[in-house]
C-alpha cells in the first residue's frame, strides 16, 4: 500500500515529540512536509525530524498538491480556521484536541470537511490503543458487575511557564480544554452514551489570564451513572482512570499516556483478587495515524468520526460554562 503523505501545520511541542514520530513509525503514513510561521523554524524542525520539505507559511503547505493529509497542532482558537482551509484545499485533517472552542465551531468544521469529502479526526491518541477495547470487553462481560461510575484525573504543574499558550483565555486556554478533555472523552467512549448535565467547580488564576488552572467536575449520565473528574495545570502529575462496578473495579494507573512498557498495563479488582492485565507495547500515536491511513487508502471506517468531536465539544463547553457561572448546566 502506498503510504499517505502527511504535512504538519505548525511546530508545536506535541508535534515534535509525539505525533510526527508516531506518523513516521506508522505502517500507513509518512511525513513529507512541515510548515511554520517562519521558514527558519520550519527548516530547523525538518532537519531535526528528517522531514524532506519545509515551508515558511501554512498556505504554502496547503498549496502542495502532493500532500494528502495534515495534522494541525496550532493553538485552540486557530483550529477552526485552518481545518476549514485545509478541507477546502482537499486535505484530510487530524486536528489536535480540543477540536474547537465550542460545539458550534466544531459543527462548522464537520460540515466543511463533509462538503470537501475529507476526513476530520480529533487527536485523542489514547483511544486507538487496544487496551481500551479490552477494558470495554471486561465492562460488557459483567465481570465487575453493573457500572456505577467512572473517576478520571489528569493534572500536571506547569504554572511557572507564564508565556505558555495554555494560559491565554481568548486562545481557548485552561485545564478543562487541555487535559479535562481526556477523562470526559474516555467516559463517553466507555459508556457509549452522552452526559445529560455538567457541574464543575474551578480555580481561575489571575496570574494566568483567568484561565481555569484546576477544575473538578461531575457529568451525569442516565441510570444514575456519573463521571467524576479533576484536571489541572497547577497540581502534582496524575493521569488515572477508575471504572467502578457493583462486583469490582478496573484501575488504569496511566490512563492517557503510554510508555510502551509495563506501566501501560491495567488492573481488574474483584472479590477473587487483583489481576494485572498485560497489554501490547504499542505507539498509540502510530495507531492513530494508521486508523486514518486505512480510512484514506482502504475505506475502513474510522472509529471516531467528526460527529464525535462535535459532541465532545458540547460537553466541554458546558463544563466551562458551569465553572464560570457556578451552576449545573444541562447538555442538549
| Within a domain: 275 | yes
What does the DSSP 8-state code read for residue 21?
H
| Within a domain: 149 | yes
The pairs formed by 213-219 with CB atoms below 8 angstroms and a separation of 24 or more are 213/159, 213/174, 213/175, 214/155, 214/175, 215/174, 215/175, 215/176, 215/180, 215/319, 215/323, 217/176, 217/180, 217/319, 217/322, 217/323, 219/184, 219/187, 219/195, 219/315, 219/319
Per-residue model confidence (pLDDT) at position 63: 98
Q: Domain with 142 in it: what CATH number?
A: 3.30.360.10
Contact predicate 240/253, CB 8 Å: yes
How far, in Å, CA of 79 to CA of 82, rounded? 6
Q: What is the pTM of this model?
A: 0.97
Contact predicate 292/302, CB 8 Å: yes
| Within a domain: 294 | no
- Say yes or no: 192 and 138 in one domain: yes
Read off the pLDDT of residues 231-279 as tens digits, 9 standing for 90 and up: 999 999 999 999 999 999 999 999 999 999 999 999 999 999 999 999 9
- Grid cell 458551569 is found at 322
Contact predicate 238/246, CB 8 Å: no
Per-residue model confidence (pLDDT) at position 1: 80
Per-residue model confidence (pLDDT) at position 124: 98
Per-residue model confidence (pLDDT) at position 117: 98
Coil/strand/helix, residue 148: strand
Cβ–Cβ contacts within 10 Å for residue 244, how many? 17
**Domain coverage including residue 115:** 4-124
- Say yes or no: 88 and 115 in one domain: yes
Question: In terms of DSSP bridges, do strands 69-72 and 226-232 run parallel, antiparallel, or are they unpaired?
Answer: unpaired
What is the total count of domains within the chain? 2
Question: In terms of DSSP bridges, do strands 69-72 and 147-157 run parallel, antiparallel, or are they unpaired?
Answer: unpaired
| Within a domain: 297 | no
How far, in Å, CA of 272 to CA of 55, rounded? 58
- Say yes or no: 211 and 322 in one domain: yes
**Pick from 124, 150, 166: which residue ends a domain?**
124
Contact predicate 286/266, CB 8 Å: no
- Say yes or no: 16 and 147 in one domain: no
- Grid cell 508516531 is found at 22
- Say yes or no: 108 and 134 in one domain: no
Predicted confidence pLDDT, tens digits, the chain (332 residues) = 899 999 999 999 999 999 999 999 999 999 999 999 999 999 999 999 999 999 999 999 999 999 999 999 999 999 999 999 999 999 999 999 999 999 999 999 999 999 999 999 999 999 999 999 999 999 999 999 999 999 999 999 999 999 999 999 999 999 999 999 999 999 999 999 999 999 999 999 999 999 999 999 999 999 999 999 999 999 999 999 999 999 999 999 999 999 999 999 999 999 999 999 999 999 999 999 999 999 999 999 999 999 999 999 999 999 999 999 999 999 99
Per-residue model confidence (pLDDT) at position 85: 98
Closest CA to 7 of 28, 26, 27, 23: 23
**Pick from 124, 150, 169: which residue ends a domain?**
124
Burial string for 272-304 (b: 16+ CB within 10 Å, else e) reads eeeeeeebeebbbbbbbbbbbbbbbeeeeebeb
CA distances (Å), origin 276, targets 137, 143, 145, 261, 327 = 15, 14, 18, 13, 40
Amino acid at each position: 500500500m502506498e503510504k499517505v503523505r502527511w504535512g504538519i501545520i505548525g511546530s508545536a511541542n506535541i508535534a515534535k515529540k509525539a505525533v510526527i514520530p508516531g506518523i513516521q513509525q506508522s505502517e500507513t503514513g509518512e511525513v513529507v512536509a512541515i510548515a511554520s510561521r517562519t521558514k527558519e523554524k520550519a527548516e530547523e524542525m525538518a532537519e531535526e525530524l528528517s522531514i524532506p520539505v519545509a515551508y515558511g507559511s501554512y498556505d504554502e503547505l496547503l498549496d502542495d498538491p502532493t500532500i494528502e493529509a495534515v495534522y494541525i497542532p496550532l493553538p485552540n482558537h486557530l483550529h477552526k480556521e485552518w481545518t476549514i482551509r485545509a478541507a477546502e484545499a482537499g486535505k484530510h485533517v487530524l486536528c489536535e484536541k480540543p477540536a474547537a472552542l465550542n460545539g458550534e465551531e466544531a459543527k462548522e468544521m464537520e460540515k466543511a470537511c463533509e462538503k470537501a469529502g475529507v476526513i476530520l479526526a480529533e487527536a485523542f491518541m489514547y483511544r486507538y490503543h487496544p487496551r481500551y477495547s479490552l477494558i470495554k470487553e471486561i465492562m460488557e462481560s459483567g465481570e465487575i458487575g453493573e457500572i456505577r461510575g467512572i473517576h478520571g484525573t489528569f493534572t500536571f504543574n506547569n504554572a511557572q511557564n507564564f508565556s505558555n499558550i495554555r494560559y491565554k483565555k481568548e486562545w481557548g486556554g485552561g485545564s478543562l480544554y487541555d487535559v479535562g478533555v481526556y477523562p470526559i472523552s474516555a467516559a463517553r467512549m466507555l459508556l457509549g452514551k452522552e452526559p445529560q448535565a455538567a457541574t464543575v467547580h474551578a480555580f481561575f488564576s489571575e496570574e494566568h489570564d483567568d484561565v481555569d488552572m484546576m477544575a473538578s467536575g461531575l457529568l451525569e449520565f442516565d441510570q444514575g451513572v456519573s463521571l467524576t473528574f479533576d484536571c489541572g495545570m497547577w497540581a502534582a502529575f496524575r493521569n488515572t482512570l477508575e471504572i467502578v462496578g457493583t462486583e469490582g473495579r478496573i484501575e488504569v494507573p496511566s490512563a492517557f499516556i503510554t510508555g510502551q512498557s509495563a506501566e501501560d498495563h491495567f488492573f481488574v479488582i474483584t472479590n477473587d483478587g487483583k489481576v494485572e492485565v498485560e497489554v501490547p507495547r504499542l505507539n498509540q500515536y502510530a495507531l492513530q495515524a494508521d486508523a486514518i491511513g486505512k480510512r484514506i487508502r482502504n475505506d475502513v471506517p474510522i472509529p471516531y468520526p467528526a460527529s464525535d468531536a462535535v459532541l465532545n465539544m458540547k460537553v466541554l463547553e458546558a463544563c466551562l460554562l458551569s465553572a464560570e457561572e457556578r451552576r449545573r448546566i444541562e447538555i442538549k
